Structure 1
Amino acid sequence: MSGDASVAPGQALADRPEGFRRVAAALQQRGHPHPARWLEQSARTCAEAADALGVQVGQIAKSVIFRLKAAHKDEERAVLVVTSGDKRVDTAKVTALVGPVGRADADFVKSRTGFSIGGVSPLAHATPPVVLIDRELFRFDTVWAAAGHPNGVFAATPEQLVAMTGAPAADVTEAG
């Protein structure tokens, strides 16, 4: 894969954005075998990430954030659905699992997760969200998740994502 650089343990991260550094540190603390990787081109979309990595779009573990509705806006929590890049999240299925959810705007995503849209990682959040892992990811041996920045990714098995997040694997996508 040309145009990218892995961040190996001990490599200086000072020139990378804070979100990327936070995820790289979290992966290292968990003893994850695959370091965060910095792509020279942005991978804000699943198609961009798949092209940059030379993998199928379904292997991109995209992060979709919802707002878990509460009586007071300041009590609303983020719900993170980590889904296969070739699938669409079924909001009704998510609601059935965690309660009523709504759209999350960029400010909500940034304030609750500490990441900007396009770089939301499954781990190392500012405030721990409710997390669901799409069972469709288990079609693949390896998937690629965001590492805190649109240029950051890391490889994992779906089982490793479940273990790192403590989240259940669930049916959260639209049929078809």
Structure 2
Amino acid sequence: MSLASVRAFFASKQLDIPIIELSTSTATVALAAAAHGVEAGRIAKTLAFRTASNEVVILVTRGDARIDNRKFKEIFGKGKMLPPDEVETITGHPVGGVCPFALATPLPVYLDVSLQAFDEVLPAAGGIHTAVRLSPQTLAQLVNGCWVDVCGQIAPAATLSP
């Protein structure tokens, strides 16, 4: 049903954004990057946190980024990732397919500025086999997102010697 809700979300906004459906799982950043033939950073991972004030927020970061706890606390205060059983109930999307579109519960969406390093990113589309390709700016506009800086520095990808 989650993929259907994303389709309905796009239709309600009269958007013609193709949803990519694959036969292989894209439930992790590594799987998604391999399946789409892109670097891990282009995968826009969507995380759900509960803050100390009991507010649930959605945070979208580049796939190879890690949350910097100090930066996170400066913006949101203390927070914890939602446990998997709560993620689907609150977002309407299964773990591995969570996206900032068509959320079951209206939630504030924040996007880390690290996404702006790319012209195109791939967030999930409500399922563990789905994604969409769009610019970070379009993503922010679609979800009425707010830009924040909560990730640490991104380590350069390792290069392989021949």
1:32 aligns with 15
Q: CA deviation at 1:145?
A: 0.4
Q: Which runs of 4+ in 1 moved over 6 A?
A: none
Q: Distance in 2 between matches of 1:77 and 1:60?
A: 25
Aligned residues between the structures: 154
1:117 aligns with 2:109: no
Gaps of at least 5 residues in structure 1 are 1-17, 71-75
Aligned-partner SS, 1:155: coil
1:172 aligns with 150
Q: Where in structure 2 are the equivalents of 1:19-168 lying within 5 Å?
A: 19-70=2-53, 76-168=54-146
Is the Cα–Cα contact under 8 Å of residues 58 and 87 in structure 1 kept in the other structure? yes
Aligned-partner SS, 2:133: strand
For 1:52-93, what per-residue CA distance to the aligned partner results, in whole angstroms no more than 9, with x for missing partners?
A: 1111111000011111233xxxxx332111000011112332
**TM-score under structure 2 length normalisation:** 0.88
% identical equivalent positions = 34
Q: CA deviation at 1:98?
A: 2.7
RMSD (Å) for aligned C-alpha atoms: 1.5
Is the Cα–Cα contact under 8 Å of residues 77 and 130 in structure 1 kept in the other structure? no
Is the Cα–Cα contact under 8 Å of residues 65 and 81 in structure 1 kept in the other structure? yes
**TM-score under structure 1 length normalisation:** 0.81
Aligned-partner SS, 1:81: strand
Going from structure 1 to structure 2, the CA distance change for 1:123 and 1:91 (only over 3 Å counts) comes to farther
Gaps of at least 5 residues in structure 2 are 155-162
